[in-house]
Amino acid sequence: QKEVEQNSGPLSVPEGAIASLNCTYSDRVSQSFFWYRQYSGKSPELIMSIYSNGDKEDGRFTAQLNKASQYVSLLIRDSQPSDSATYLCAVYPNDYKLSFGAGTTVTVRA
């Protein structure tokens, strides 16, 4: 079983719609969870971090965490063409190693 799994995508949404990205993780002791955005040919850029169960909102982005279900999600509201990128879910299963999912590619159609 992979440490971090994401819905495979690609995900295509119309401009202005909500994009919903899902991630599950295998290590129950994980305490820190991150979403990174990666544009084609660029490095990952942190967009959200979440540590407690529930929702965390930052502008058009909302991260949701459910530790009992070992599930993290990211909602992008009012999607814009500039949101077209690969979104990487990352988990800290221990104090030093970030484990990443394979990423979900999002395309926002104008």
Partner 1 sequence: ETGVTQSPTHLIKTRGQQVTLRCSSQSGHNTVSWYQQALGQGPQFIFQYYREEENGRGNFPPRFSGLQFPNYSSELNVNALELDDSALYLCASSFGSETQYFGPGTRLLVL
The residues of the shown chain that bind partner 1, judged by CB under 8 A, are 4, 32, 34, 36, 42-46, 49, 88, 90, 92, 94-103
What CA–CA distance (Å, rounded) separates 62 from 39? 19
The CB-of-17 to partner 1 minimum distance in angstroms stands at 25
What is the closest distance, in whole angstroms, from the C-beta atom of residue 95 to partner 1 in the complex? Answer: 4
Strands (E), the chain: 4-6, 11-14, 19-25, 32-38, 45-50, 54-58, 61-66, 71-76, 85-92, 99-100, 104-109
Q: Which is nearer to partner 1, 5 or 64 (CB)?
A: 5
CB closer to partner 1, 42 vs 77:
42
Helix, coil or strand: residue 107: strand
Q: How far is the CB of 20 from partner 1 (least distance, A)?
A: 19
34 vs 61, beta carbon nearer partner 1: 34
Contact, 40 vs 49, CB < 8 A? no
